[in-house]
Amino acid sequence: MKKKIMIIHTGGTISMSEDEQTGAVSPGKRNPLTTIPLVVDSDVEIESHELFNLPSPHITTKHMQELSKFIDHQAVENAVEGFVITHGTDTLEETAFFLDITVQTRVPIVLTGAMRSSNEIGSDGPYNLLSSVKVAASEEARHKGVLVVLNDEVHTAKNVTKTHTSNIATFQSPQYGPIGIVTKRGAFFHHSPVSEDKYHVEAVSKNVMLLKAYAGMDSSIFHALKDMKVDGVVLEALGQGNIPPTAVNGIKTLRDADIPVVMVSRCFNGIVQDIYGYDGGGRKLKELGVIFSNGLNGQKARIKLMVALENTRDTSELQQLFLK
The contacts found for 45-50 with CB under 8 angstroms, 24 or more apart, are 45/2, 45/3, 45/4, 45/5, 46/5, 46/6, 46/7, 46/133, 47/4, 47/5, 47/6, 47/7, 47/80, 48/6, 48/7, 48/8, 48/9, 49/6, 49/7, 49/8, 49/9, 50/8, 50/9
Within its chain, how far is the Cα of 311 from the centroid?
A: 20
| Secondary structure (H, E, C), 30-65 | CCHHHHCCCCCCCCEEEEEEECCCCCHHHCCHHHHH
Please say whether the beta carbons of 291 and 324 come within 8 A: no
Residue in 13, 61, 89, 91 annotated catalytic: 13
Closest CA to 31 of 51, 9, 46: 9
Closest CA to 120 of 20, 232, 4: 20
170 is catalytic: no
Please say whether the beta carbons of 59 and 98 come within 8 A: no
Please say whether the beta carbons of 189 and 213 come within 8 A: no
Active site amino acids: 13
